[in-house]
A and B are shown apart, each in its own frame.
Chain A
Amino acid sequence: MRATRSTEQGESARLPSGIGAAPLSFRVASVVILLGLVIFAIPDSIPFYYKQVGILIFWFASLGTAWTISCGYGGMFSIGNAAFVGTGAYTSTLLFLHFQISPWLGMVVGMALAALLAAGVGYPAFRFGLRGDYFALITIAFSGIVYELVNGASGITGGGQGKPIRVLGDRPWLFQFTDRRIYYYIAMAMWLLTVVVAYRIRHSRLGYKLLAIRDDEPAAARAGINGTTVKLVGFVITAAITAALGTFYAQLILFIDPGSVLALDLSVTLILMAVLGGMASYLGATVGAFILVPLSQWLAANTAVAGADLFANGLILVLLMLYMPHGILGLLRNSPRWRRVVGW
C-alpha cells in the first residue's frame, strides 16, 4: 500500500520521511529515549508526584498534537478546544454516574458527541467563510457556551461544584486502576496513537489539502479542493481525539469541574505546547510538553506566590512570538533533511 502511494506522489515522495529520514544516531537516540520512557514508571520507588508529571506530559503532548491537526496543518485557529476536553470528560462521567456505563464506552460516546459538536460549529463557520480571527472568536464563544451550560445545569452536571467519580479500586473494565503505572502507560499509548495519526494525516491526501488551504485558501479552491469538507474533517478529527483525552483526564483525577476541564486557560495552555515545539510539526506539541509541563509543575510547586506558573506561560508565549515564532522545531525547517524528519 505504501509503495503504490509513493509512486502516485512521484519521485520526491520516495525519499524516507519522518523519523526514517533522520541520521542513524538520531534514530537510535529516539528509540533509547522511548524505551527509557517506557521503563521510567516501572520502579516502585518513583514518587507519585513524578508519575503524575509524566502522565500530564503525555496528556498535554497529545492535546497539543490533536490541535496541530486542525490548526498547525489546516490553519483553523481554535481557542476553544477545552470544550472538547470537557465534552469527553463530562460525557463519560455522567454516563457512568447516571447509567453505570463503563467510561471506556463513554469515551467512545464522548468522541462521537465531540465530533458532532465540532461539525455543528465547523460546518456553518467554514461554509460562511469565517477564518482566522473570526473563527478563533467563534470557538471561544462556543467553549463559553459549553462552559456556561455545564456550569448552569447543576442538577445534572454538579455545576461549579464539580462531580466526583466514586473510587472503586482496581476495576480495569471501569477505567479505574490502583496502580498509577497503568495510567502512565495508557497516557503514553494515547500519545503514541495521536502522534501516529497526526503523522499519517500529514502524509496523506487530507494532510496536503489541509496544508494547501492553510497557505492559500483561494488558490486551493481553484485547484479543486473543497475547503469546507476538508477543514470539517480536520476539525472533527481534532475534536474526537481531544474528547478521548478528556475522558482519560476524568478517570485519572476522578473529579471534574468546569474550571479544570472547560476553562479558557486549558485551551491556551494546550496551544502553548504546540506553539513552543512548533505548531506545523506532528512532533511539535511533544517537544513543547516535555519542556513546559515539568516547568509549570515545578513553578506551581516551588514558588510561594500563586500565579507564577501561568505568568511564566505568558512570558514564554510573548518571547516566543517575538524571537522564535516558528517554535523549537521550526528552527530545523530550512534543512531539507530535518524538514522531512519533523514533517514541517
Chain B
Amino acid sequence: MFRAALASGIFLGSIYAMVASGLNLIFGVVKIINFAHGALLALGMYMAYFLITLAGFDPYLTLPVVVVAMFLVGWAIQSGIINRIMDSDRTSQLLITFGLALMVQNGAIMLWGHEYRSATVPYARKVFDILGIRFSFAALLALTGSAISLVLLYLFLHRTRTGTAIRAVSQQPDSAALAGINVKSIYGIAFGVGSAMVGVAAVFMVPIYFVQPSVGDPFVLMAFITVVLGGLGSVWGAAAAGMMLGVVQNLFATMVNVEMAPTFVFLVFMVIMFFRPYGLFGRAERIS
C-alpha cells in the first residue's frame, strides 16, 4: 500500500517536474506567471492525440513533432503578444496569459468538445515489477523521459551559448542587453523552450490520461506551487519540488484522505510561501 502510493507518487512527481521546469524557465526569464501553461499542456496532448489517431503515429514517436510544434507555439505567443507588453503594468502581463488560457482552452472546447478521448497502445499497459513495486510501462517511460528531458534542459541552459544568454537575461536583462544579447528574442526562445517542456510532458501523458480541454488545470496549479517551492531559475529545484509534491500528495491521499489531498498540498504551499517566499531551494535574491 505504502509502496504503491510511493510509486504512483514518483510517477506523478515526474510529470509535475516536467510541467514545472517549463513554467519555471518562463517565470525565471520572462518574469511572467504563465497562466496559459495548463492550456498549453492540453494543446500538446491534443496534438499528440490527433497525430496518433489521424496520422497513425506510435504515441511515443509523436515526441519530436509535438516538441517542435509546442516550441513554435510558445515562441509565437512570446514574440507576437507578450513581448509587446513587457514594459506595461504587471497586471497586464498577468491578465494576458489568463486571456490566452481562456482562448486556448475554450477554443479546444469549441473545436473538439468536452468529450474524453484516449489513445494508448497495448505495450504501454504492460506492468513491470521492480523491487516489489508495480509500474506500468507507460509510467516507467514517463519517468525516464522526465529524467532525460530535465538533464537535457540543464545541459542546454548551462553548456550552450543560447542557454548562457538565457541565464544572463534572467539575472540582469539590462546588462545582458548591454553585452549585446537581443533580450526580446531570448524571451521568445525561453518561452518556446518552456512550452516544449510541456510538449514532452504532454506526449508522455497521452497514453495514461484522458485528453480533454481542462486536463491541464490540476497539473498547472501544482506546477505553480512547484515553481514557487523550487525557487526561481533552478532546474533541479523544480525537479525536486515536483517529485516531492507528487509523493506527498499521493501518500496523503492513500494514508489520510483522497479528497483532501489537494487541500493539504495547497495549505503546505501557503504556509511555505509565508515563511520562505523565495522557495525551499531558492535564494532570497529575487525580493526587490
Which residues of A are in contact with B by a Cβ distance under 8 Å?
77, 79, 121, 124-125, 128-130, 132-134, 136-138, 140-142, 144-145, 148-149, 151-152, 268, 271, 275, 279, 305-308, 310-311, 313-318, 320-322, 325
Q: In residues 91-148 of chain B, which contact A (Cβ within 8 Å)?
A: 91-96, 98-110, 113-114
Tell whether, in the assembled complex, residue A322 and residue B274 are in contact, meaning their CB atoms are under 8 Å apart.
no
Asked if B225 lies at the interface with its beta carbon under 8 angstroms from chain A, I say yes
B259 touches A148 (CB 8 A): yes
Interface size on B, residues (CB 8 A): 47
Task: Report yes or no: A306 in contact with B95, Cβ–Cβ below 8 A.
Answer: no
Docked complex Cα distance between A275 and B224 (Å): 24
Say how far A228's CB is from chain B's closest CB, in angstroms: 13
Q: Does B84 belong to the interface (CB within 8 Å)?
A: yes
CA distance A141 to B272 in the complex (A): 12
Alpha-carbon gap, A320 to B94, bound state (A): 13
CB–CB A125/B88 < 8 A: no
Q: Does B181 contact A (CB under 8 A)?
A: no
User: Complex Cα distance A316/B108, Å?
Assistant: 17
Residue of B nearest to A311 (CB): B106
- Which of B91, B107, B224 meets A140, CB within 8 Å? B224
Quick check: A137 and B273 within 8 Å, CB to CB? yes
Contact A149 B263 (CB under 8 A): yes
B270 adjacent to chain A (CB < 8 Å): yes
> Is A129 a contact partner of B96 (Cβ separation < 8 A)?
no
Q: How far is the CB of A136 from chain B (nearest CB, A)?
A: 6
What is the distance, in angstroms, from B214's C-beta to the closest C-beta of chain A?
Answer: 10
Given A130-B274, A141-B269, are A310 and B89 also a contact pair (CB < 8 Å)?
no
Query: A141-B266, A148-B263, A316-B99 are contacts. A128–B106 as well, Cβ < 8 Å?
Result: no
Contact A152 B263 (CB under 8 A): yes
Q: Considering the chains assembled together, what is the distance between the CA atoms of A277 and B74 in angstroms?
A: 30
Shortest A56–chain B CB gap in Å is: 19
Interface string of B6-17 (1 = CB under 8 A from A): 000000000000
Q: Which of A275, A306, A317, A321 contacts B114 (CB 8 A)?
A: A306
**Across the A-B interface, the 8 shortest Cβ-Cβ residue pairs:** A314-B102, A317-B99, A307-B109, A152-B259, A314-B103, A307-B106, A311-B106, A318-B99
Q: Please state if A148 and B262 are interface contacts (CB–CB under 8 Å).
A: yes
> CB-CB < 8 A to A325: which residues of B?
85, 88-89, 91-92
Given contacts A134-B277, A136-B33, A306-B110, contact A129 B287 (CB under 8 A): yes
A213 to B216, CA, bound (A): 35
Please state if B275 and A128 are interface contacts (CB–CB under 8 Å): yes
- The verdict on B267 contacting chain A, using a C-beta distance below 8 Å, is yes
Given A128-B277, A137-B228: A307 and B107 interface contact (C-beta under 8 Å): yes
Distance between Cα atoms of A306 and B92 in the complex (Å):
27
Please name the residue on chain B nearest to A309 by beta carbon. Answer: B106
Residues from chain B with Cβ under 8 Å of A318 in the complex? 81, 96, 99-100, 103
What B residues does A125 contact at CB under 8 A? Answer: 273-274
Q: Are A138 and B270 in contact (CB under 8 A)?
A: yes
Per a CB cutoff under 8 Å, which of B85, B98, B114 touches A322?
Answer: B85
Given A141-B225, A152-B260, A321-B99, 5 further pairs, Cβ under 8 A: A121-B270, A130-B273, A133-B90, A307-B105, A307-B213
Chain A residues, CB < 8 A from B103: 311, 314-315, 318
- Report yes or no: B33 in contact with A133, Cβ–Cβ below 8 A: yes
| A314-B277 contact in complex given A133-B94, A145-B263, A271-B95, C-beta closer than 8 Å | no
Which of A130, A311, A317 touches B110 (beta carbons < 8 Å)?
A311
A275 engages B102 (CB within 8 Å): no
Please give, as numbers and ranges, the residues of chain A lying within 8 Å of B91 by CB-CB distance: 77, 275, 279, 325
- Cβ A132 vs Cβ B90 within 8 A: yes
**Least Cβ distance of B280 to chain A in Å?**
15
Complex contact B99–A144 (CB within 8 A)? no
Contacting pair A317 B273 (CB below 8 A)? no
Closest to A306 in B: B109
Could you give 15 example pairs across A and B, Cβ below 8 Å?
A: A128-B274, A130-B277, A136-B94, A141-B266, A141-B273, A148-B260, A149-B263, A152-B260, A305-B110, A307-B105, A307-B213, A311-B103, A311-B107, A317-B99, A325-B88
